[in-house]
Amino acid sequence: YDDRDGWIWFDGKLAPWREANIHVLTHALHYASSVFEGQRAYGGEIFKLTEHSTRLRRSASLLGFELPWSVEEIDAACRETLKANNLEDAYMRPVAWRGSEQMGVAAQRTKPHMAIACWEWGAYFGDEAARKGIRLDISPWRRPAPYTAPTQSKASGLYMICTLAKHAAENKGYNDALMFDWRGQVAEATGANAFFVKDGAIHTPTPDCFLDGITRRTVMELARRRGIDVIERTIWPEELEGFEQFFLTGSAAEVTPVASAGPWNFEVGDLTLQLRQDYLDLVNRRLANA
Ligand code: PMP
């Protein structure tokens, strides 16, 4: 991703793509003092931009560093970056981290930095998978307890677990993995939240040790608008057998149906496809805000 044309917003200025570099003694590289966002632009409009910029600042705060850019400034920087790259439909990646001013675990004297890149990125799991449903492995890796890591932060360090889970799944031919949490409860996929359908109602795990996704909340609102019951609760793996449909939500994944998770199969059903369509209508401004 480093050798191409384009512009990356870097600490207040647009830098040529190939020159947006950092030093090897960057604290973030050694100690994972880094947080990021992921959002999509549709037809030139960045969906729920302010929520993403707000979460970026909060993610950094949870890791103990404050960004010198306000939410409004981050919003403006994202729009500027999208425009500079001449993109209308794109995935955007803001990232913020502690710099190279200090080496060692302690990092009080490091400076906060921020960069924003964007590029074209189609369906996260590919178009066919999005229609037919993806296949999930059951990950041996679990989401950590909130007293083990700042689990409400979109912290890069937490993605070490996701990459391990994703690689193990892909090596076995799956699209992604479903992870349980440290208690053994159903949690989420490696980059998206989980929803289940049974008897016309939607069930989703309580996000008490993983991200309460912006897409997750949007889809819950879209479901309620259609009069569908949305139940947020503890879900145990034993229940997977009884669910009829399963889908994932995320800024990159949008609404993706799941065809199987480990030994359990699910139908790509009407309710999932309806919510998927509602979400695509919403982000493309064919539906009023949710
Ligand atoms: N969980 C994880 C681990 C993720 O990486 C993401 C994507 N940011 C989500 C959930 C969904 O979050 P959102 O809907 O805000 O993109």
List the chain pLDDT tens, one digit each, 290 residues: 999 999 999 999 999 999 999 999 999 999 999 999 999 999 999 999 999 999 999 999 999 999 999 999 999 999 999 999 999 999 999 999 999 999 999 999 999 999 999 999 988 998 888 789 999 999 999 999 999 999 999 999 999 999 999 999 999 999 999 999 999 999 999 999 999 999 999 999 999 999 999 999 999 999 999 999 999 999 999 999 999 999 999 999 999 999 999 999 999 999 999 999 999 999 999 988 77
Q: Which of 179, 251, 283 to mutate to test the pocket of ligand 1 (most atoms within 8 A of CB)?
A: 251
* Closest of 115, 119, 94 to residue 20, by C-alpha: 115
172 is catalytic: no
Question: Which part of the chain is CATH 3.30.470.10?
Answer: 7-119
pLDDT confidence of residue 126: 87
Give the position of tokens 């590029």: 119
Question: What is the pTM assigned to this prediction?
Answer: 0.97
Nearest Cα to Cα of residue 250 among 280, 216, 206, 199: 216
Nearest to 53 by CA among 78, 28, 80, 90: 78
pLDDT of residue 250: 98
- Distant-in-sequence, close-in-space partners of 33: CB < 8 Å, separation ≥ 6: 27, 63, 65, 97, 98, 107, 110
Tokens 């400034």 correspond to 73
Ligand 1 pocket residue status of 188, Cβ below 6 Å: yes
- State residue 70's pLDDT score: 98
For residue 70, give both structure tokens.
Answer: 């306000």
CATH class of 7-119: alpha beta
> For the domain with range 127-283, which CATH number is right: 3.20.10.10, 3.40.50.300, 3.60.15.10, 3.40.30.10?
3.20.10.10
* From-to residues of CATH 3.20.10.10 in the chain: 127-283
Q: What is the pLDDT of residue 129?
A: 82
Please report the atom of ligand 1 found closest to the CA of residue 162. 3
**Ligand 1 atom with least separation from CA of 216:** 14
For residue 117, report the distance from its CA to the centre of ligand 1, in Å: 18
Report the separation in Å between the CA atom of 221 and the middle of ligand 1, taken as the mean of its atom positions. 17
Q: Is the ipTM of this complex over 0.90?
A: yes
Among residues 51, 157, 123, 46, the alpha carbon closest in space to that of 92 is found at 46
Nearest to 92 by CA among 219, 7, 28: 7
Distances from the Cα of 32 to the Cαs of 26, 40, 74, 121, 263, in angstroms? 10, 25, 22, 26, 35
Nearest to 131 by CA among 287, 258, 265: 258
Which residues fall within 8 angstroms of residue 86, CB to CB, at 6 or more apart?
none
CA distance 118 to 127: 20
CA of 153 to the centre of ligand 1 (A): 11
